[in-house]
Structure 1
Amino acid sequence: MEDRGPWRALMPGVIEAAERSEPATEPEPGLVPVRDPGDVSDPGTADRPGSEADEIGEAARAAPPGVAHSSAVMAIGTIFSRATGFLRTVAIGAALGGAALGNAQQTAEAVPYTVYQLLLGGMLASVFVPFLVKRRRQDGDGGDAAEQRLFTAVVAALGVLTVAAVLAADWLVTLYARSYDGRQREVAVLLTRLLLPQIFFIGVSGVASSLLNVRHRFGAPMWAPVVNNLVTIGAALLFLWIAGRGRTVDTVTDGQLVLIGAGSAAGTVLQGVILAWMLWSAGFRWRPRLDLRGSGFGEAARAAVWMLVYIVIAQLCVLVTLNVVNRASREADGSGLVVYNMALVVFQLPYAIIAVSVITALLPRMSEHVADGRRDLVRADFSRGLWLASALLVPLSVGMLVFAVPGATAFFSYGSMSVESARRIGLVLMVFAVMLIPFTLHQLLMRVFYALGDTRTPGLIAIPAGIAQAGTALALLALVPAHRVVIWLPLSYGLFYIVGAIGASLVLRRRLGGMDGRRITRTLVRLYAAALPGLALAAAVVWAFDRMPGDRLPGLLAIVVGGAGGGVLFLLAARLLKIAELGYFTGLARARLARRPRAGRA
């Protein structure tokens, strides 16, 4: 009997409930995949210039259908990873502030992750996980030789890459922050040198996670980042205790920089060690092998060239964004990269928890329907996934829009992070909030291509999307006052996903015989209409509490009172408008709560 116990992941149940309530579609056969979807893995969003874990990449390697325990462990691990990641962001902001010192640290932290992702991480995520799965299934030794060769090749490449990156630290800082000079440049170079050795352990974490995933050990890769976050939080708080508030690039000492840099790197090292130990516990014993000829790695890499094109373009957009933000911040002598990155972390929180859960549940289903040649079922899965995710993301995006400034003030204005910098985080987040649905739409469309085994189209679509993002960012730098560039920069970020979503929709509409656009549009319009009463109430509450003395407490009260009242109004309006999409969540939750007492008595 199908497992309906407490370990069952919520989202698959919601999707099944929605599917059961809809009439069966007329079969539309004839869908032909570009290549075996099993040969294609997921590169993730590939656009985050820092240490935030990218759970969307893990979603592509999620537990197989029916493994409810693993799905629940992954979901809970994602929530804890994101929660501690948010606290990590708050702690770093409190320690270093939102001006030149914080900007230098954010640049230094971005460098090792972007270098790794560009030169090795994207290849590992998108190529070798499905390759190893196939080798374990087909090879007489259960894929052991392929795993030994991969681990050896990755460790060797990581060693060379790490040494080269440390030696090139000065040049890398110039590449990512050309506008830095004087003491700010010295600080950025020192922190970059301290953080670049992370490349080796980031890579060890990546390959260990891959080998654990092919063994169906899904918990550790989702939980290990929590340890990394906690260590970094400790280092940030220790820095704040020793150095005190208000340190700048001119007053911070090299010893204090070593504390924050080495502490942050220690978290990554510990994460890599934990994952390596978990891999050893799963039975893997490394025996170095360098006989790569005939291993099949080259063929696997050539099959993913277009996936790598997508990753390279995303990383080039990160490069442009970092330079634009640092240049504008330098000219305005104010907050920049810290403000932008912290707003980006908050912006992606609801997506990482909600939309990733949808994608985790949908990918196996879509791949099965592709194998059966059923374009109608693939189209229905995409449509269902988008409007189910939107049922939660639309009210959250509206809430993010109205609560951004008071929320940022309440959660970020500690230690060296001034109230003014925290408010700027809120202003940036308001612009990001408008991009949440386009961002989610784009990500879901990309996963349809991956289910079809098509990596070429996403790579081609990324070219005009990347040009639009980079061009808009440079135009903002030229046309907008420097102190407002960072506030409007999310427009360029969102434009990548808007352009990409338009291109992807046009291609898939022809390939799938439509995209259920009327249903999607009608659902989104009704969801936003249902959110309007709650938006009005929340805005009034924010306005009222803003008249109170103080900064943090009024913001917290506005979120609690306005969020609760606005949420109730949204649910009532959704019921009046008969928005069934939201009812699938509430219905399943009520059913589970009703079953629990009976299960306890049993």
Structure 2
Amino acid sequence: MSRMLRASAIMAAGTMVSRVTGFVRTMVLAYAIGTAALGDAYNAAYAIPYSILDLLLLGVLSSVVVPMIVRAQQHDADGGRAYEQRLLTLSTGALIVVAAIAVLAAPLLIDLYTVWDHGSREYDVAVTLARFILPQLAFFGVGAVAGAILNTRDRYGAPMWAPVVNNLVVICVFLLYAVAGPGNDISRVTTGDLALLGVGTTAGIVAQAAVLIVALRRAGFQFVPRFDLRNARLGEMGKAGVWTIGYVIVTQAGFMLTTNLASAAGDEVAGHGISPYTLAFQLFQLPYGVIGVSVITAMLPRMSRAVADGRFGDVRAEFGSSVRLVCALMVPVSLLLMVVGPAITVPIYGHGANSVADAVYIGNVLQVYGLALVPFAVFQLLLRVFYSFGDTRTPVFIGAGTTAVNAVLMVLFHLLLPARYAVMGLALAYTVAYGLGAVLAWWLAARRVQGLDGWAVGMAMTRMYLAALPTAVLALATVWVITTVFGGLDFLNSVIVLAIGGGLGMLLYLGVAHRMRIPEVNSIVGMVARRVGR
């Protein structure tokens, strides 16, 4: 537990700074281009590579690359050096080709992800932006492989801090646009304005990849291009990767349906389309990115080594410890998101080209996503059990079932709900689907390792929810008092709600959980206290 906490703390610190700068990035984005037509066009163009990159990071790297690098390090005479060089050579070439094809296919991709008519201003702007943004696929992919190699060497800092550089570059780009551009008026935006937004976005990813490559060199890795692909274990990689590609296809189909339904809603009600969905989803991912990804990144190599040695008891212990550690913070955060969602989004998005009402709607979507936080995190942890075995097939079937349920519910809610609630319906469908997906994944993973100590994990989570109830009550009372007395949420009122309901609420949770002697919370409190006392 202590070693995982230390590794997770290093990554969480970097990820926290990354997410904070990401907050500033989205604030500047909303301030500069808003969440109406231009914002939807930008987010549609950006969502395409972003979703692919997210899947590369959470799917291919986790399920194929990391376990194979670990095995090469354990069994190859050179400690896996030659294999890592072949892998980086292969990935660089392949991703350059993928990026080039994506740029050429930009109009088709926008067709797939939106319902906008050819020749409409939104469609043309989105295609132009996509052509400037899609080249980042190659740079992010190369950086991600470098990050995977660093992780297998227990070098977690650079992969978590590199996105900060990306965010700072993009923040500067959007500030420049906010000063020199035409704002959110899509009819006045020029090709030069779009080049600034698109190329600037790609420049951030280039800077991020450069940081990771430098960190890899400092870790002692010398990159020598290797084209002896006969020794690259492509057969083994292909056997594992074909299922991961299937997972990508399945989840991409679901994501395409999501963006199509969101763009249709945005056509009916301005400011209720792709942008609020994207911005709310990014905020929803923040706790998982800070807490869940940090734990998963530290957990997977150790689980892979335990599986390779046949130590199933260690796999169960590693998984149970990871779930409890993640949920110790996810549980109160999920309840707070459900209560104070609009108070979070108004200070971030209620400025410039975006109105307070637009920001409140983003917060309403975030409130629904709060329900999904714990099921989504547990779902992602469960997939790593299969990946540690080198099993990429089972996650495809789990993902297919989850996506199918999500798709059916999204269409159903889209047909039943008014357009102004359509994006909230997408978030609700996501919540239900991942809840059911987590149940299925747990059952299958428990069979694989002869049990996952479900009773112990369930009791621990129950105690966490009981400890978090006073926090939820305090936050709800704060929202009621502020909105009743002052008549609604503006910047100042939102800050008050966050300070009392969020800040004091989390302190209340830590205090109650400490009194209830929840071990994971005590470990976190103790680690923080020791670091503060230094």
When normalised by structure 2's length, the TM-score is: 0.89
Alignment counterpart, residue 165 of structure 2, candidates 223, 227, 237: 227
- Secondary structure, aligned partner of 1:542: helix
Change over 3 Å in CA distance of 1:12–1:361 after alignment to 2:
farther
Amino acid at match of 2:492: L
- Distance in 2 of aligned mates of 1:572 and 1:203: 42
When structure 1 is superposed on structure 2, of 339-348 and 528-537 the one drifting more is 528-537
Amino acid at match of 2:35: G
The residue that corresponds to 1:89 in the other structure is: 26
- Secondary structure, aligned partner of 1:251: coil
- Secondary structure, aligned partner of 2:229: coil
1:170-193 CA distance string (max 9 Å, x none) = 111111113345111111011111
Q: Report the RMSD for the aligned CA atoms in angstroms.
A: 2.9
**Alpha-carbon deviation of 1:436?**
1.0
Change over 3 Å in CA distance of 1:77–1:322 after alignment to 2:
same
Residues matched between the structures, number:
531
Change over 3 Å in CA distance of 1:591–1:265 after alignment to 2:
closer
Alignment counterpart, residue 385 of structure 2, candidates 441, 445, 448: 448
The residue that corresponds to 1:317 in the other structure is: 254
Contact 2:343 2:363 in 1 (8 A): yes
User: 5+ residue gaps in structure 2?
Assistant: none
- Distance in 1 of aligned mates of 2:302 and 2:224: 37
**Alpha-carbon deviation of 1:488?**
2.0
Amino acid at match of 1:297: L
Change over 3 Å in CA distance of 1:566–1:292 after alignment to 2:
closer
**Alpha-carbon deviation of 1:154?**
2.6
**Alpha-carbon deviation of 1:281?**
5.0
The residue that corresponds to 2:443 in the other structure is: 506
Alignment counterpart, residue 94 of structure 2, candidates 154, 157, 168: 157
Change over 3 Å in CA distance of 1:559–1:225 after alignment to 2:
same
- Secondary structure, aligned partner of 2:461: helix
Alignment counterpart, residue 195 of structure 1, candidates 120, 127, 133: 133
When structure 1 is superposed on structure 2, of 332-341 and 542-551 the one drifting more is 542-551
- Distance in 2 of aligned mates of 1:376 and 1:119: 29
1:582 and 2:518 are equivalent in the alignment? no
- Secondary structure, aligned partner of 2:11: helix
- Distance in 1 of aligned mates of 2:514 and 2:50: 45
**Alpha-carbon deviation of 1:341?**
1.3
- Distance in 2 of aligned mates of 1:122 and 1:357: 16
Change over 3 Å in CA distance of 1:115–1:521 after alignment to 2:
closer
Change over 3 Å in CA distance of 1:485–1:308 after alignment to 2:
same
1:60-96 CA distance string (max 9 Å, x none) = xxxxxxxx6x765433222222221222122111111
- Secondary structure, aligned partner of 2:272: coil
Change over 3 Å in CA distance of 1:127–1:509 after alignment to 2:
closer
**Alpha-carbon deviation of 1:120?**
10
Equivalences for residues 543-558 of structure 1 within 5 A: 543-546=480-483, 547-548=485-486, 551-558=490-497
1:489-534 CA distance string (max 9 Å, x none) = 1122223322221112222333444443333333333332333333
**Alpha-carbon deviation of 1:405?**
0.9
Contact 1:12 1:361 in 2 (8 A): no
Whichever of the two has the greater Rg, that structure is 1
Deviation beyond 6 Å, 4+ runs, structure 1: 117-121
Equivalences for residues 27-38 of structure 1 within 5 A: none
When normalised by structure 1's length, the TM-score is: 0.80
1:248-284 CA distance string (max 9 Å, x none) = 2223232222221121121112223333344455555
- Secondary structure, aligned partner of 1:304: helix
Equivalences for residues 18-97 of structure 1 within 5 A: 73-97=10-34
1:421 and 2:411 are equivalent in the alignment? no
- Distance in 1 of aligned mates of 2:62 and 2:389: 18
- Distance in 1 of aligned mates of 2:515 and 2:62: 45
When structure 1 is superposed on structure 2, of 433-442 and 275-284 the one drifting more is 275-284
Alignment counterpart, residue 178 of structure 2, candidates 206, 225, 240: 240
**Alpha-carbon deviation of 1:563?**
2.7
1:490 and 2:427 are equivalent in the alignment? yes
**Alpha-carbon deviation of 1:305?**
2.8
- Distance in 2 of aligned mates of 1:121 and 1:78: 15
1:463-491 CA distance string (max 9 Å, x none) = 21111112211222222212211012112
Contact 1:121 1:203 in 2 (8 A): no
- The structure richer in helix per residue is 2
Change over 3 Å in CA distance of 1:137–1:530 after alignment to 2:
closer
**Alpha-carbon deviation of 1:564?**
3.9
The residue that corresponds to 1:399 in the other structure is: 336
1:299-352 CA distance string (max 9 Å, x none) = 222133333332332222222211111122113333321111111111121122
1:178 and 2:168 are equivalent in the alignment? no
Amino acid at match of 2:122: Q
- Secondary structure, aligned partner of 1:249: coil
Change over 3 Å in CA distance of 1:216–1:532 after alignment to 2:
closer
**Alpha-carbon deviation of 1:167?**
1.5
Contact 2:8 2:294 in 1 (8 A): no
Amino acid at match of 2:278: N
Contact 1:195 1:265 in 2 (8 A): yes
When structure 1 is superposed on structure 2, of 385-394 and 460-469 the one drifting more is 385-394
Contact 2:240 2:391 in 1 (8 A): no
The residue that corresponds to 2:146 in the other structure is: 208
- Distance in 2 of aligned mates of 1:251 and 1:584: 55
- Secondary structure, aligned partner of 1:293: helix
**Alpha-carbon deviation of 1:439?**
1.0
Change over 3 Å in CA distance of 1:82–1:289 after alignment to 2:
same
Change over 3 Å in CA distance of 1:178–1:542 after alignment to 2:
same
The percentage of counterpart residues that share the same residue type is 43
Amino acid at match of 1:553: L
**Alpha-carbon deviation of 1:395?**
1.3
Change over 3 Å in CA distance of 1:378–1:210 after alignment to 2:
closer
Amino acid at match of 1:198: Q
Contact 1:84 1:230 in 2 (8 A): yes
Change over 3 Å in CA distance of 1:13–1:345 after alignment to 2:
same
1:139-164 CA distance string (max 9 Å, x none) = 45554543443333333323322222
1:529-559 CA distance string (max 9 Å, x none) = 3333332222222222223277101110111
**Alpha-carbon deviation of 1:584?**
3.5
When structure 1 is superposed on structure 2, of 515-524 and 406-415 the one drifting more is 515-524
**Alpha-carbon deviation of 1:234?**
0.7
Contact 2:67 2:304 in 1 (8 A): no
User: 5+ residue gaps in structure 1?
Assistant: 1-10, 16-67, 597-602
- Distance in 1 of aligned mates of 2:288 and 2:490: 28
The residue that corresponds to 1:101 in the other structure is: 38
**Alpha-carbon deviation of 1:435?**
1.0
